[in-house]
Chain A
Amino acid sequence: MSGPAVLRESGHFFAFCLDTLRGLGRRPVQVREFVQQAWFISSVSILPAALVSIPFGAVIALQLGSLVRQLGAQSFTGAASVLAVVREAGPIVTALVIAGAGGSAICADLGSRKIREELDAMQVLGIDPIQRLVVPRVLASMLVAVLLNGLVSVVGVSGGYLFNVVMQGGTPGAYLASFQALGQLPDLLVGEVKALLFGAAAALIASYKGMTAKGGPKGVGDAVNQSVVLTFMALFALNFVVTAVYFQVVPQKGS
């Protein structure tokens, strides 16, 4: 895509996000669609998230375990792996799963509606597809992302704990105490804030790409592909920004 085209596309996407924001306040609230979508997105994402987070937690525990031993700071193994999981791994796994499983499904769904002219028909019947379809999807995706992040954190931390205590011979008391020393509530909150933003961004990009799909079934395929790639890039960039802001804004314990 050429420069102006990218700019135009970004402008359209921005306008789309504003429309969605405006749609948030509009009645009637689409409760049914929201519940259905939340159910649907969780059903496609919970299992992969859980399955990914166990090895992810273990890898982090393994890496940090050996790194911390090399540095001679064994007593902080617990803190390091919990913080790594809660602050970074949780949101990243959530982002991957939400973009890959939830976002692609949303994009494919809206894209096929678009090329079947269902969205046009809806507009002619006096119903705004953004309010009717996009808003509930964005909200559902945000909710599921937050829940998923909680799930991933719990599973990842338990995985790390088991790995450290059972396999690497750490002491349970030291593991928890070190977390007490370095961790704080905002660590958990920032993870959830990230997840919330990721959920919103993934659903917005997927919906936008789906609703602007054109050129028949092949167009839908292309849209899904682009939406997944774009979402990954956007989420990693967003992750960086939020993390940087977090370290600027929230004073860290023990530093």
Chain B
Amino acid sequence: MGVEVAVRGLTKSFGGQPVWSDISLTLPAGEISVLLGPSGTGKSVFLKTLVGLLRPDRGDIVIEGRNLPRLSERDLYEVRKLFGVLFQDGALFGSMNIYDNVAFPLREHTRRSESEIRAVVTEKLDMVGLVGAEKKLPGEISGGMRKRAGLARALVLDPQIVLFDEPDSGLDPVRTAYLNQLIIDLNQRTEATFLIVTHDINTARTVPDNIGLIYHGHLAMFGPREMLLSSTEPVVRQFLNAQRIGPIGMAEEKDAEELQAEAQAGAELPPLPPIPVQLQPSDGRRRRAERPPGQWCRDHGVEPPPGSFAGPDGQRTVELPAFLTRDGVPG
């Protein structure tokens, strides 16, 4: 069972230059959360702060009653055993081949025999589709393969909290689809808490239970997927729908002039696209954290955009719960 991560008032700067400040959010135990944000807003820094690789200037990160920024180095190493982290570039050990990389945590932290290790490593490599590449060195494989090997290594100790730094960048669309399914299935099986940093809008819209958006040095919004996908907050709306119209410009923030010009040109916001259904586990059974489609919208009296929670061809891919049909919500 996953554990909850509670972040309160977290602030981080480098040499007086703030990266983000006053971030407060709770990653609910066992749920999948996605963190979005323009390039360079400090998403990777946030992940590194969560595992205690970087010390925040201020704020608390509470995991199982322990406040990470206050822990001694030794206790920090204890808490880190809860974590599995996939780094942005895989961070494989360059001097070891893929097999030894994935086996490394097992050899360091468990007393398992080599044959048991082989079984676990092969299972994880099979899961990420890297069987046959065991003998290769990290320098000899593609970026996407390095990333998948990094994922296998991050998962090998069955962590309670898994942080993914852009698991899908550098992967082809088919692999990305497989990876997203893998994330859902993993979450169903392990019930660990997942935090995924991604730039892939499709991933962000269909995979998580919660979405957060870092923008301009602070957390613009964090909440259930349907809340952000139905939000009309300009930044959230622009980012989640990958539009040019809105407050985000090429250089992070548009200046007032540009915004005014946009307004004068009568740039009209396109309507919110329909909210897609969430990706389901491949065995058809529910994930523990999964909520019925449309529940959040109904509970909060929000009208989802027309066509929401329907399959790509207008067909419902999931059986709608009774309340939706009863209330006559279009679908």
> What 1/0 mask marks residues of chain B from 85 to 114 whose CB sits below 8 Å from any chain A CB?
101110111100000000011001100000
B53 and A113 contact, CB distance less than 8 A: no
CA distance A121 to B93 in the complex (A): 9
Q: Interface-forming stretch among B75-83, B118-126, B194-202, B213-221?
A: B75-83
B contacts with A, residue count (CB < 8 A)? 24
B83 and A124 contact, CB distance less than 8 A: yes
Of the candidates B80, B84, B91, B105, which one forms a contact with A117 in the assembled complex, judged by CB atoms under 8 Å apart? B91
Q: Is A222 engaged at the interface, CB distance under 8 Å to the other chain?
A: no
Contacts of B48 in A (CB 8 A): 120
- Nearest CB on A from B174, distance (A): 27
CA distance A113 to B89 in the complex (A): 12
Contacts of B109 in A (CB 8 A): 125-126
> What 1/0 mask marks residues of chain B from 297 to 308 whose CB sits below 8 Å from any chain A CB?
000000000000
Q: Is A123 engaged at the interface, CB distance under 8 Å to the other chain?
A: yes
B85 and A121 contact, CB distance less than 8 A: yes
- Nearest CB on A from B206, distance (A): 28
B94 and A116 contact, CB distance less than 8 A: yes
Q: Is A53 engaged at the interface, CB distance under 8 Å to the other chain?
A: no
A118 and B108 contact, CB distance less than 8 A: no
Q: Is the interface of B mostly helix, strand, loop or mixed?
A: mixed
Across chains A and B, the number of contacting residue pairs, with CB separation under 8 Å, is 52
Q: Is B27 engaged at the interface, CB distance under 8 Å to the other chain?
A: no
Q: Is B51 engaged at the interface, CB distance under 8 Å to the other chain?
A: yes
A contacts with B, residue count (CB < 8 A)? 14
CA distance A55 to B80 in the complex (A): 54
- Nearest CB on A from B108, distance (A): 6
B87 and A120 contact, CB distance less than 8 A: yes
Of the candidates A112, A117, A126, A127, which one forms a contact with B87 in the assembled complex, judged by CB atoms under 8 Å apart? A117
**Chain B residue, CB-CB nearest to A121:** B91
Given A112-B94, A116-B94, A118-B94, A124-B89 contact (CB < 8 Å): no
Contacts of A113 in B (CB 8 A): 93-94
B85 and A124 contact, CB distance less than 8 A: yes
Q: Is A128 engaged at the interface, CB distance under 8 Å to the other chain?
A: yes
Given A117-B87, A120-B53, A126-B94 contact (CB < 8 Å): no
B91 and A120 contact, CB distance less than 8 A: yes
B108 and A125 contact, CB distance less than 8 A: yes
B92 and A126 contact, CB distance less than 8 A: no
**Chain B residue, CB-CB nearest to A132:** B108
Contacts of B77 in A (CB 8 A): 123, 126, 128
Contacts of B53 in A (CB 8 A): 120, 123-124
A123 and B94 contact, CB distance less than 8 A: no
- Considering only residues 210-269 of chain B, those with a C-beta below 8 Å from chain A are none
Contacts of A128 in B (CB 8 A): 73, 77
Which 4 pairs of residues, A with B, have the shortest CB-CB distance?
Answer: A121-B91, A117-B91, A124-B85, A117-B87
